[in-house]
Amino acid sequence: MAIVETTIEGSTMIIRLNRPEKMNALNRDMLEGIASALNYASENNSLRAVIVSSTGDHFSAGADIAELHSLDTKGAKEFRATMRRIVDLILDMDIPVIFALKGYSLGGALEISEWADIRVAAKDSKLGQPEVAIGINAGAGGNSMLPFLVGRGMASFLSMTGEKIDAEEARRIGLVDLVVEGDPLEEAVKIASKISSFNYRTIRAIKRSMVESSVSGLKIGFTKEESFFIELAADREVKERMEKFLKR
């Protein structure tokens, strides 16, 4: 059984973390599996969305502590490099990446989700960055991307205390975008399906503009948004959609 499972449903790839006996703790094999799946998605022109989910009751308890304990400097560099590669793939893809969070969504796994386009959480989720308790800082963006999402003060509180919060609080502060009663994967699939019904070039323009704004700065993102708008205004499919709207 693969430690990371992938399926394709229509134009959506679903990536499932599959180590439920370890609460889907991230070891090097799992990280490599996630990176490989995302790389495949980035090169598949027929896909329009990617969802990252999990088997079992929990999304992920974070990095595998036993493996972290065994790392020397070289191993730590390699472990971190794989997480960085996952983040870069999420950011560089032109299609949206949606995370479906449930149960415990902690540490490095939550941090990776912070770079996604949309995060959906089950109502009973517990989210947090407890790395401080074992004496390590964030491994995948919890000290860099998290402040952008929730503000420096709240990011400092979560990272420096290791507190876990529930899904509703996570939504209130901007850590997740939607909270659902049932399986967050079902909602994620609905979102992916709706996004896939729109013009691919338009979705690409929205993602690229937002990524540039968050990563490179507001002025660069605004300039990117402007260039896409001008390009799309003359797009044939966009014109057809406008004509349909005008004839309603």
111 catalytic, yes or no?
yes
For the chain, what percentages of helix, strand and coil (3-state, to nearest 5) are there? 55, 15, 30
CB of 109 closer than 8 Å to CB of 62: yes
43 catalytic, yes or no?
no
Output phi, psi for 106, to 5 deg: -130, 165
Catalytic residue among 21, 43, 111, 231: 111
User: Could you tell me which of 132, 24, 27 has the C-alpha nearest to residue 79?
Assistant: 27
DSSP secondary structure letter of residue 21: G
Catalytic residue among 21, 32, 131, 168: 131
CA 13 to chain centroid: 13
Question: 15 Cβ partners below 8 Å, 6+ apart?
Answer: 4, 5, 6, 34, 37, 38, 41, 50, 51, 52, 53
CB of 113 closer than 8 Å to CB of 99: yes
CB of 58 closer than 8 Å to CB of 43: no
Tokens 């996952």, residue located: 86
Q: What is the DSSP string of 120-138?
A: EEETT-EEE-GGGGGT---
Q: Which residues are catalytic?
A: 111, 131
